[in-house]
Structures are given as structure tokens and as C-alpha cells.
Amino acid sequence: MEKREERAVEEGAAAAAGGGEAEAAAEAEAEVNPWEVSGKIDYDKLIDKFGCQRLDQSLIDRVQRLTSRAPHVFLRRGVFFAHRDFNEILDAYERGDKFYLYTGRGPSSEALHLGHLIPFMFTKYLQDAFKVPLVIQLTDDEKCMWKNISVEESQRLARENAKDIIACGFDVTRTFIFSDFDYVGGAFYKNMVKVAKCVTYNKVVGIFGFTGEDHIGKVSFPPVQAVPSFPSSFPHLFNGKDHLRCLIPCAIDQDPYFRMTRDVAPRLGYHKPALIESSFFPALQGDTGKMSASDPNSAIYVTDSAKDIKDKINRYAFTGGQDTKEKQRLYGANLEVDIPVKYLSFFLEDDDELEHIKTEYGSGRMLTFDVKKRLTEILVEIVERHRRARAAVTDEMVDAFMAVRPLPSMFG
Amino acid sequence: MGYTKDQLLARLQELRIEFSKYEHPVVLTVEAQAKHVGNVGASLSKNLFLKDKKQRFYIVSALADTKVDLKVLSQRLGLGKGGLRMAPEEALGEILQVPLGCVTPFALVNESARHVSLLLDQGFKSQQGCLFHPLSNDTSISLNTLSLDKFLKSIGRDPSYVDLEANPKVGKDQPPDLAALVPSDSIVLPEFAEGAPPSEHSNENHAATDVKPKAVKAKAVKTPAVAEKIRDDTVSQHGEQLGAVVSDTLRKRLSSELKNLAIMFKNTAYTEGFHAGTHHQPKRP
């Protein structure tokens, strides 16, 4: 028991006890946890602080070899940059042991922006490349508790968000979407209780920062997000496959939940879930945080028209370009802070073109106007494709994705 | 070829649209027109052919004494304060295919005017009849709005009646109330420097459009992205390979669009089966 405790403390050390000190020492005061992301984020420090691993080129090459296709643009550009045990997932895959994917969304608003779509776009790629099943958790209960919206409203938002998620192109024969309010119970709840028994109140306060004023709903929520990592939570899908591994693509602010889960898993006799984590999609106005659903001009929404997108990029995108054309030609742009170039690195698939733009813009031969124009084109294409796909999603399709049903060809 | 007056009138008769016809010498202004048909018991209309900064065109058709303020209209359409101005004379011939002094809602019968937006004065509705030129300045026809609407619907148009004198506030919380009447497409007039795309651009597109099959929706795969590839530097970089590089890019995009479509189909088919399965009645014993 003691040894495991030590290891657990090791893994989560920086965040739990040591977290406070480290933060006080850092001058930037960046805050990263599941409910708040702010300040200028140093991803290297974050990896150290959280204790996860950098996703290096060798892993990316390995993915390419195993899947016989080009690695996703997010891997090539370092959007998904950190992981825990991803190499073990790949080892097992090579041996013929498959895995399943688990990701989720907290349905707090109807308006989805591009930042929300990123984990889903990447998960779709993983599903197609590795040919594995996927469970998607809609944490309507969490939002009901944290955002103080009614149960009915959170359920409604969950269904609406499900449509946007489906529009990302998931395969219904390999995907199970569920909302907590609908699904919690049975085997899932049994696992929740097992997990809860392994985590002390003090531990959960240490990881999530709860105080005496927080209601007990919040305190008992973490197991809900933890147990989809265990295949026995889905008896209709993985009956008898207790040793199936789980890979969780998520944004790095979700790491605390899964540190806790990984700590508990061996005690319950399960594999620790593996994680593959992404950085934050920067807000239009700059590097200091992530896109927020409450500020319409900080993000490009999937409901924005082509004109809206053009206006937002032109008016609100923070650029590293110089003030005047002459200065731009002389000094070039500051690529470190330039948002259009950052966005292009997420969404411009062609590596050569991106390099070209970076060199030309950085040296001043290309103007901010041109970069913004190219970005607008690409974003409009993405948003329109999403809109077309979403228009084809019916309520019945949502029911089909959310039905508790077996998926016979999920590994095919 | 634009419709002639006789063709239009014949069309109206075919559609059994009621109207009264008055012939008179050629008139170029409402005042001149009033001298001939001012007392026939129908209301005179004034018709403005307008354009905005983005090469989109509008016909505003109003009762002769309705005050039309272009600045207000421009804001209500969401075009900003000075967004609307009178269209150039040449546009009259090119787009509406009517002579000077002959702007009329009936010009929309021409294919060339299919992207022109029509704003009709709400005041027309209360009149017994309104006078318009049937594509020629030597005739006026009077008809009521029911008949006018019937005609407009027959050419696939939705009649939009607007209180042209209203001046609602347009701001952050009050969106322009007429924004829906702005055409979705601009009209490019070939001869004019303003509207014409630069000639090199069209040459670049030429090569690309030959390669691109019709199956892809024009809006989805924008030629500028392809034109981007065919720059001077990429030409020198890839040389003879340029054709292969460009077609490779296109192929990738098409292939990804196709895959998306395939997934949508799969999901739809599965959903149909799911619905059938959950609603099917068990076999009778």
C-alpha cells in the first residue's frame, strides 16, 4: 500500500502539495485547472509541473508506421504535445492488443468554437487511423453543478452539442455517446463507488482545490469523469474485456482528473488510462489564455458566417506585424505573438506552404493582410464543411449514437 | 436577350394577371409620365436602380411621394452610412436590359437581373393600382399589389414590402432590419475597371478549372487557394512538376470531402436502420 502511495504522490506531487509553492515562485501566475485557464502558459513548465511526457518525433514516426498514413496535422505541428503512456498503447497495438478511445465535453453552452472542435478532430483521426471504438462523455451533470444551470437545460445543451460532435465525422458503428444524467447507474455507478472509496477527501481537495464552501455535488463529481477509463463501465460494449486499454485525447487542463484516475486504476485491477494532451487554441486577441464561450470576439464559432469570420480575423486577431507597410518590409513580423500564423499552424495542412508563409512574413516580404486573407479562406472552409455536416445530423441520429447498444464491428 | 415589352405583356396575360395598359409618348421622368397617366386613378411609382460597394444591385420601387433616404436605407441594409449609390447607366443596360428612365420591377424577368434585390414600398399595398413601365418608356401599366405579387412569384421572387420612410436605429444591439434583402451574390460587369477581376487572375484560374471536376461545389473549393499555388515562385520551385503538385493538392481535398460524405451516408443509413429496428413490431405468433 505504502509503495503505491509514494508513487502516486510522486506523479501528482508537483500539482498537489508542491503546486502552491511552484506557483508562488513563478512570476507569470498562470492558472491551469479544469475550470480555469488564464495567464501566459509555459508548456514546458506545465509538463514538468504535471509530470507528463513530451510527445517527441520518434513517437510521431511510430504512429505513422503503425497506421500507414500521414500523422495528423496536430501531431506534426505539436498541438498534441504531451502524453502519459502513449508508448505503451503503441506497444500493445503492435502486439495486436487494441484499445478504445475516451473523450468528452462539458456542455456549458450551445455555441461551439474552433477551440472546442480540436480534440474532436484529433479523436476522429485516431478512430480512423487505428480503427478503434470511442466513447464520448457529455458531462451535463458537471455543468449543471458548476455553471448553475437547470438539469433540463444542461440535458438540452448536451444533445445540441452532440450534434456538433457528430458533425465532426465520427463513425456510428464505432462510437458511443452518452450523457451522465442518462447513463450513470449500473456497472458505471459500481465503478464510481469503487473509485470514490480510493480517494480521500483531502486528496481531492489537494488535486482540485475544493473548499469548505463548495457543495458536495462538486466534491463527489471526479469519479464520474474517471470511470469511463475502465472498460467494465460499458458492459454492453466491452463485456469480458477487462484488460482493454484506454487512450484519452484531451486538453492539458484535464490532466488533474486523470492523474487521480491513474493513481486509482491499479488498485482496482485496471490498466492506467493513457493520455495524449493538447495545448490551448489561443484566443483571437492573443496568447494570454484560451478561447472563452462568453466573449464572442475571442473566438471563431461554428455558426459564424464567412463575413463574420473575415471581420473577426481582420479586426480582432492580434498580429505580430509591424504598424506600417514600410516597417513591415524592413523588420518583418514577430511570429512569436502573431495569431494568424499560430492559427495557420493548426489548420493549414500543407507543411511547405506554412513554412513559406512563415519565412516570407517573418522577413517582411509578406504583409499581415495576405496572411489574414489565407487564414480566412481556410477557416471559412472548415466552418462551412462543419455546417454542412451538422445540417445532416437529425435527432434520430443523435438517438442512434446515444443508444445503449452493442457495436459488433467496433474493432473492424 | 432581354425581354421586350410585348413579350412581357403576353406573359402577364398568360398568367391571367390583371392590368390596364396606357400608351403615351416616351417619358424619362415621373413628372413627364404624370402628364399622361396622372389621372387614370392609379398611383405613380418612382424606381431607383442602386448599387453598393460590393457590386450588389437593388431596385427600390416606391410611390412617387414616398421619401426615400439612401443613407437610411444603406444603414438598414447593413451597408454602413454611405454604402448605397445610384447604379451607373451602363448597368441599366447590362443588368436590367431596359433603357434610361425605365427602371421597373418587371425588369427582374430577365436572367441577367437574377441577383438584383427588390424593395417594394409598403405604401403600394393600399393603392387601387400602381403604375410601372413594362420594360419600355412609351407605355405604363397599372396593377394592384396582388397582381404584382403574382407576377413576382411566377419568376421565383418573394415580394418584399418595406416601410421605406421608417428610420429605425441601427447599432450594436439593433441589427439592420433589412439585412436579409442584401443579395448573396455580386454581379461582375465585364467592361468596367471597378467590377472586373484582374486579368492575370482569370488566366491562373483557367488552368485550375480545367482540372477540377464539376462534382465539387464551387464554393467549397475556392480557386484562389489553387491560384495561390500557381505563383511565380512556386512555378520556379516546381517547374514542370507544378501541374502534378496542383493536381495532387486538389486530389487530396476531393478525397477528404469524399470521405466526409461517405461517413455522413454511413451514419444516416445506420440511423434509418436503428429507427426501423426500434419501431418494428414483433412478428405475430
Shortest Cα–Cα distance, A323 to chain B (Å)? 25
B274, A403: Cβ pair inside 8 Å?
Answer: yes
Shortest Cα–Cα distance, B220 to chain A (Å)? 6
Determine contact, residues A379/A344, Cβ cutoff 8 Å. no
Task: Give residue A171's pLDDT.
Answer: 96
Task: Give residue B217's pLDDT.
Answer: 40
For chain B, counts of helices (H) and of strands (E): 9, 8
Question: With contacts defined as CB-CB under 8 Å, which chain B residues touch A170?
Answer: 263, 267
A350, B249: Cβ pair inside 8 Å?
Answer: yes
Considering CB atoms only, which of B260, B268, B275 is closest to A169?
B260
Which CATH code of 3.40.50.2300, 3.90.960.10, 2.40.110.10, 3.30.565.10 fits the domain covering B5-181? 3.90.960.10
Question: With contacts defined as CB-CB under 8 Å, which chain B residues touch A349?
Answer: 252
Shortest Cα–Cα distance, A395 to chain B (Å)? 10
Collapsing DSSP to helix, strand or coil, A341 comes out as helix
Q: Which residue of B has its CA nearest to A170?
A: B263
Instruction: Output the nine-digit C-alpha cell for B35.
Output: 402628364
pLDDT band per the 50, 70, 90 thresholds, residue A7 = very low
State the number of CA atoms in the 13 A half-sphere of B275 facing the CB: 11
Residues 6+ apart with CB under 8 A from B277: none
Q: Which residue of B has its CA nearest to A167?
A: B264
CA A383, CA A122: separation in Å to the nearest integer?
16
Distances (CA, A) of B159 to A178, B21, B151: 46, 22, 10
Q: Which residue of A has its CA nearest to B269?
A: A397
Shortest Cα–Cα distance, A13 to chain B (Å)? 44
Q: Is the pLDDT of residue A237 over 50?
A: yes
Collapsing DSSP to helix, strand or coil, A275 comes out as strand
B267, A166: Cβ pair inside 8 Å?
Answer: yes
Shortest Cα–Cα distance, B274 to chain A (Å)? 6
**Best-predicted range by mean pLDDT among A129-133, A361-365, B102-106?**
A129-133
* Chain A residues near any Cβ of chain B (below 8 Å): 166, 169-173, 349-350, 353, 356, 374, 377, 381, 384-385, 389, 392-394, 396-397, 399-400, 403, 405
Collapsing DSSP to helix, strand or coil, B17 comes out as coil
Q: Is the pLDDT of residue B225 over 70?
A: no
**Burial class, B172, CB count within 10 angstroms (exposed 0-12 / middle 13-18 / buried 19+):** exposed
Q: Is the pLDDT of residue A20 over 50?
A: no
Instruction: Output the nine-digit C-alpha cell for B100.
Output: 434610361
Q: E strands within A76-133?
A: 80-84, 99-105
Question: With contacts defined as CB-CB under 8 Å, which chain B residues touch A403?
Answer: 274, 278
Task: For A54, list phi and psi in degrees, rounded to 5.
Answer: -80, 140
In chain B, which residue ranges form alpha helices assigned H by DSSP?
Answer: 5-14, 30-37, 70-76, 89-91, 145-154, 199-211, 223-229, 232-238, 242-279
Determine contact, residues B59/B91, Cβ cutoff 8 Å. no
Q: Is the pLDDT of residue A334 over 70?
A: yes
Q: Which residue of B has its CA nearest to A357?
A: B228
Residue A229: DSSP 8-state: G
Determine contact, residues A251/A278, Cβ cutoff 8 Å. yes
Task: Give residue A6's pLDDT.
Answer: 33
| Count of Cβ atoms closer than 10 Å to residue A381 Cβ | 18
Closest CA to A375 of A341, A336, A333, A332: A341
CA A218, CA A343: separation in Å to the nearest integer?
35
Question: How far from the centroid of its chain's Cα atoms is residue A248's Cα?
Answer: 9
Question: With contacts defined as CB-CB under 8 Å, which chain B residues touch A174?
Answer: none
Beta bridge partners of A33: A36
Pairing relationship of beta strands B161-162 and A53-54 according to DSSP bridges: unpaired
* Residue type for position A340: P
CA A83, CA A262: separation in Å to the nearest integer?
13
Closest CA to A20 of A33, A4, A35, A5: A33
**Interface with A, mutate which of B216, B237, B251, B264 (most A CBs under 10 A):** B264
Task: Give residue A320's pLDDT.
Answer: 85
| Residue range B189-214: mean pLDDT, rounded | 41
Tell which B residues from 238 to 267 touch A, by Cβ distance under 8 Å. 249, 252, 257, 259-260, 263-264, 266-267
Domains of chain B, residue spans = 5-181, 218-278
CA B89, CA A254: separation in Å to the nearest integer?
63
Q: Is the pLDDT of residue B140 over 70?
A: yes
What distance, in Å, lies between the first and last C-alpha atoms of chain A? Answer: 40
CB contacts < 8 A (A, B): 53
Question: How far from the centroid of its chain's Cα atoms is residue B265's Cα?
Answer: 33
Determine contact, residues A373/A313, Cβ cutoff 8 Å. no
CA A396, CA B269: separation in Å to the nearest integer?
11
Task: Give residue A253's pLDDT.
Answer: 87
Considering CB atoms only, which of A172, A353, A405 is closest to B267?
A172
CA A111, CA B3: separation in Å to the nearest integer?
48
B268, A397: Cβ pair inside 8 Å?
Answer: yes
Collapsing DSSP to helix, strand or coil, B121 comes out as strand
Mean pLDDT for all residues in chain A: 87
In B41-131, which residue ranges form alpha helices assigned H by DSSP?
Answer: 70-76, 89-91
A172, B266: Cβ pair inside 8 Å?
Answer: yes
**Best-predicted range by mean pLDDT among A254-263, B173-182, B207-216?**
A254-263
Q: ipTM above 0.95?
A: no
A396, B228: Cβ pair inside 8 Å?
Answer: no
**Best-predicted range by mean pLDDT among A175-179, A314-318, B240-244?**
A175-179
Q: Is the pLDDT of residue B182 over 90?
A: no
Q: Which residue of A has its CA nearest to B227?
A: A374
Q: Is the pLDDT of residue B196 over 80?
A: no
A397, B271: Cβ pair inside 8 Å?
Answer: yes
Considering CB atoms only, which of A169, A350, A377 is closest to B263?
A169
Look up the pTM and report it. Answer: 0.64
Among A17-21, A127-131, A368-372, which is the least confidently predicted range? Answer: A17-21
Question: With contacts defined as CB-CB under 8 Å, which chain B residues touch A366?
Answer: none
Question: With contacts defined as CB-CB under 8 Å, which chain B residues touch A391?
Answer: none
Q: Which residue has the higher pLDDT, B6 or A102?
A: A102
pLDDT band per the 50, 70, 90 thresholds, residue A287 = low
CA B264, CA B258: separation in Å to the nearest integer?
10
| Residue range A336-354: mean pLDDT, rounded | 92
In A184-338, which residue ranges form alpha helices assigned H by DSSP?
Answer: 186-197, 201-208, 216-219, 222-226, 235-238, 255-268, 306-316, 325-331
Distances (CA, A) of B20 to A365, B33, B130, B152: 66, 15, 10, 17
Task: Give residue A293's pLDDT.
Answer: 61
Q: Which residue of B has its CA nearest to A384?
A: B220
- Considering only CA atoms, give the Rg of chain A: 22
Closest CA to A335 of A294, A368, A291: A368
Closest CA to B184 of B30, B54, B36: B54
Task: For A178, list phi and psi in degrees, rounded to 5.
Answer: -140, 150
Q: Is the pLDDT of residue B204 over 60?
A: no
Residues 6+ apart with CB under 8 A from A198: A263, A264, A267, A268
Closest CA to B139 of B283, B9, B275, B270: B9
A377, B260: Cβ pair inside 8 Å?
Answer: no
B271, A384: Cβ pair inside 8 Å?
Answer: no
A173, B224: Cβ pair inside 8 Å?
Answer: no
Task: Give residue A222's pLDDT.
Answer: 94
A396, B275: Cβ pair inside 8 Å?
Answer: yes
The tens digit of pLDDT for each residue in A34-57 reads 666 666 778 888 899 889 999 999
- What percent of chain B is predicted at pLDDT more than 90? 26
Determine contact, residues B76/B178, Cβ cutoff 8 Å. yes
Beta bridge partners of A115: none
Distances (CA, A) of A136 to A258, A297, B53: 15, 28, 47
Q: Is the pLDDT of residue A9 over 50?
A: no
Task: Give residue B236's pLDDT.
Answer: 62
A170, B263: Cβ pair inside 8 Å?
Answer: yes
The tens digit of pLDDT for each residue in B18-58 reads 899 999 998 988 888 988 988 888 999 999 999 988 889 99
B271, A171: Cβ pair inside 8 Å?
Answer: no
Distances (CA, A) of A173 to A169, A178, A246, A409, B272: 12, 15, 18, 7, 13
Tell me whether B219 touches chain A (CB under 8 Å).
yes
Shortest Cα–Cα distance, A321 to chain B (Å)? 21
For chain A, counts of helices (H) and of strands (E): 22, 11
Considering CB atoms only, which of B220, B228, B259 is closest to A384?
B220
Instruction: Output the nine-digit C-alpha cell for B109.
Output: 424577368
| Residue range A297-301: mean pLDDT, rounded | 87
The tens digit of pLDDT for each residue in A185-207 reads 999 999 999 999 999 999 999 88
Question: With contacts defined as CB-CB under 8 Å, which chain B residues touch A405?
Answer: 274
